């Protein structure tokens, strides 16, 4: 019997297929009461093996590679008049397959996975449930399906535990350094998988309603847990005085907007405004365009995140009796943002310039609905939210961006109109 040290590509493929069949079998898991045979056809490895037009030199080379496996005691071969018909695993030699292929045997892999999973049972409740489900797979001799290998499994679980317990804004690369000592590892290797799993823990279903681009969906999920690519800022304009724990203060006016880093929210002692109204604005272009003498404007930048939630709650606490308004796109997403804003802050924001009158007034600027818009509109109607506007959008197959409204109304100067800064 000869030894085989460096398998060829064909030999590796034969061993991989045979090992995979064995490790997926009831024999491997100890559930089979009868003897199983694991085999592979030559065509599964060398598709042109039975082709009459295949170069005979290639066939001879392949058959010699199979004979080498036979001589090494790794497999046996069944032949017929046309040549090799079946390559059969030598069960007594299968323990050598993983080393020849440079992989860990499945039992070792499962034992390592079990140790990793048990090590995270004391973490966040959501992570604990995931680990318990995966331990059931391991007990059934199945590999965990949270990640492609044990290295990634540990990385994914560490990310989940950290992010789900996070209470302050952290940049993605800071997170990566904190957990792995590498600023780019999170983004390059586990970000998408972590976001997919985090989606199952999000209790704000409006955030993930409908379909959106993968990158936007992942950004929303991470922002929900205060993990961002870059520091976030939110913008104000209108009369307001903000005081901080260190004794400093910032004065905001309607003619001089400011931006405040979200990490500063926790240091706010008070935020007082004499304005009668507070209005959140979905998009930056419209925020730059709008102004009112008795309104404090806050740029929302799409879905409301935790720092903005805390600030708006603080603003309400320090300023009782104000009128709260929201100005956004007249489309299902715009109303999902409004709904999300109301739920997260507990403030009864009223939609501003987001009705059927605006759709009719600016119908020449309306766009048709996308399939995702239709699904979201129907979902809002089913939930009893904004049925009048949603039914109008569906009936007229239209939606309108708020930038058109703020631009077109900019030259009007009545108290309730939007005007040029």
Average pLDDT of the segment spanning 13-26: 91
pLDDT at 220: 84
The answer as to whether 419 is a domain residue is: no
Please tell me whether residues 88 and 112 are part of one structural domain: no
Average pLDDT of the segment spanning 239-268: 89
Please tell me whether residues 272 and 297 are part of one structural domain: yes
Domain that holds residue 149: 106-228
Inter-residue contact 320 to 271 (CB < 8 Å): no
pLDDT digits (tens, 9 = 90+) for 214-225: 888 898 899 888
pTM score of the predicted model: 0.68
Please tell me whether residues 244 and 388 are part of one structural domain: yes
pLDDT digits (tens, 9 = 90+) for 62-78: 999 999 999 999 999 99
Cβ count near 41 (within 10 Å)? 14
pLDDT digits (tens, 9 = 90+) for 371-384: 989 999 999 999 99
Lowest mean pLDDT segment, chosen from 11-15, 122-126, 219-223, 417-421: 417-421
pLDDT at 150: 95
Distance between CA atoms of residues 391 and 403, nearest Å? 22
Q: Which of 206, 228, 250 is where one domain is finished? A: 228
- Cα–Cα distances (Å) from 123 to 240, 278, 300, in that order, read 42, 40, 33
Kindly tell me the sign of the dihedral angle through the C-alpha atoms of 56, 61, 63, 64.
positive
CATH code, domain with 281: 3.40.1360.10
Average pLDDT of the segment spanning 295-311: 81
The answer as to whether 353 is a domain residue is: yes
Query: Band of the pLDDT at 152, cuts 50, 70, 90?
Result: very high
pLDDT at 296: 96
Query: Band of the pLDDT at 145, cuts 50, 70, 90?
Result: very high
Query: Band of the pLDDT at 303, cuts 50, 70, 90?
Result: low
Please tell me whether residues 346 and 243 are part of one structural domain: yes
337: helix, strand or coil:
helix
Helix, strand counts (H, E) of the chain:
18, 14
Lowest mean pLDDT segment, chosen from 23-27, 325-329, 332-336, 417-421: 417-421
Average pLDDT of the segment spanning 187-212: 82
pLDDT at 209: 61
The answer as to whether 189 is a domain residue is: yes
- Give the count of domains, the chain: 3
Lowest mean pLDDT segment, chosen from 94-103, 259-268, 379-388: 259-268
pLDDT at 89: 95
Please tell me whether residues 110 and 89 are part of one structural domain: no
pLDDT at 414: 44
Please tell me whether residues 259 and 295 are part of one structural domain: yes
The answer as to whether 414 is a domain residue is: no
pLDDT at 304: 61
Cα of first residue to Cα of last residue in the chain, in angstroms, is 88
Query: Band of the pLDDT at 319, cuts 50, 70, 90?
Result: very high
Please tell me whether residues 246 and 274 are part of one structural domain: yes
pLDDT at 317: 96
Look up tokens 């239709």; give the residue. 374
Distance between CA atoms of residues 112 and 375, nearest Å? 44
264: helix, strand or coil:
helix
- Indicate whether 207 pLDDT > 60: yes
Estimate to the nearest angstrom the gap between the alpha carbon of 82 and the chain centroid. Answer: 53
- Indicate whether 94 pLDDT > 80: yes
Please tell me whether residues 252 and 358 are part of one structural domain: yes
Look up tokens 């109303």; give the residue. 335
Query: Band of the pLDDT at 412, cuts 50, 70, 90?
Result: low
pLDDT at 212: 63
Query: Band of the pLDDT at 211, cuts 50, 70, 90?
Result: low
The answer as to whether 365 is a domain residue is: yes
Please tell me whether residues 322 and 361 are part of one structural domain: yes
Please tell me whether residues 123 and 88 are part of one structural domain: no
Query: Band of the pLDDT at 210, cuts 50, 70, 90?
Result: low
Average pLDDT of the segment spanning 206-210: 62
Please tell me whether residues 31 and 63 are part of one structural domain: yes
Distance between CA atoms of residues 87 and 39, nearest Å? 5
The answer as to whether 421 is a domain residue is: no
- Indicate whether 305 pLDDT > 80: no
The answer as to whether 240 is a domain residue is: yes
User: DSSP for 88-133?
Assistant: EE-GGGGGGHHHHHT---HHHHHHHHHHHHHTTTTS-HHHHHHHHH
pLDDT at 309: 87
pLDDT at 306: 74
Please tell me whether residues 89 and 219 are part of one structural domain: no
pLDDT at 419: 43
The answer as to whether 332 is a domain residue is: yes
Q: Which of 72, 101, 130 is where one domain is finished? A: 101
CATH code, domain with 93: 1.10.10
- Indicate whether 262 pLDDT > 70: yes
Q: Which of 200, 228, 256 is where one domain is finished? A: 228
Inter-residue contact 351 to 324 (CB < 8 Å): no
Q: How many CA atoms lie within 13 A of 93 on its CB side?
A: 18
pLDDT at 34: 80
């Amino acid at each position: 019997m000869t030894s085989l040290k460096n398998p060829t590509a064909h030999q590796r493929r034969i061993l991989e297929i045979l090992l995979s069949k064995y490790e997926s079998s009831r024999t491997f898991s100890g559930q089979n009461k009868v003897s199983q045979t694991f085999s592979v056809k030559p065509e599964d490895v060398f598709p042109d093996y039975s082709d009459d037009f295949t170069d005979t030199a290639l066939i001879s080379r392949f058959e010699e590679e199979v004979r080498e496996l036979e001589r090494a005691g790794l497999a046996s071969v069944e032949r017929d008049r046309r040549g090799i018909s079946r390559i059969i695993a030598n069960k007594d030699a299968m323990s050598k397959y993983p080393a020849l292929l440079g992989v860990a045997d499945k039992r070792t892999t499962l034992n390592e996975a079990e140790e990793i999973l048990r090590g995270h049972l004391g973490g966040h409740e959501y992570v604990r449930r995931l680990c318990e489900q995966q331990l059931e797979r391991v007990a059934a001799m199945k590999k965990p399906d949270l990640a492609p290998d044990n290295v990634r499994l540990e990385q994914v679980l560490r990310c989940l535990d950290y992010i789900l317990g996070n209470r302050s804004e952290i940049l993605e690369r800071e997170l990566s350094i904190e957990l792995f000592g590498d600023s780019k590892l999170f983004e390059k290797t586990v970000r998408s998988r972590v976001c997919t799993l985090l989606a199952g823990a999000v209790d704000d279903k409006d955030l993930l309603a409908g379909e959106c681009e993968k990158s936007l969906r992942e950004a929303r999920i991470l922002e929900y847990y205060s993990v961002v690519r870059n520091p976030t800022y939110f913008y104000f304009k209108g009369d307001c005085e903000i005081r901080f724990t260190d004794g400093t203060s910032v004065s905001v006016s309607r003619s001089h907007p400011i931006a405040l880093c979200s990490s500063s929210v926790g240091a706010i002692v008070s935020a007082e405004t004499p304005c009668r109204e507070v209005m959140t604005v979905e998009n930056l272009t419209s925020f730059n365009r709008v102004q009112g003498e008795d309104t404090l404007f806050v740029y929302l930048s799409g879905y409301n995140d935790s720092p903005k939630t805390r600030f708006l709650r603080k603003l309400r606490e320090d300023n009782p009796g104000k009128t709260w308004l929201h100005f956004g796109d007249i489309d299902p997403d715009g109303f999902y943002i409004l709904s999300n804003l109301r739920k997260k802050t507990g403030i009864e924001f009223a939609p501003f310039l987001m009705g059927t009158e605006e759709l009719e007034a600016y119908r020449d600027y309306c766009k048709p609905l996308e399939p995702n818009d239709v699904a979201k509109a129907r979902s809002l109607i089913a939930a009893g939210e904004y049925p009048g506007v949603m039914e109008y959008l569906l009936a007229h197959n239209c939606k309108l961006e708020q930038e058109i409204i703020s631009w077109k109304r900019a030259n009007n100067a009545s108290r309730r109109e939007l005007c040029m800064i």
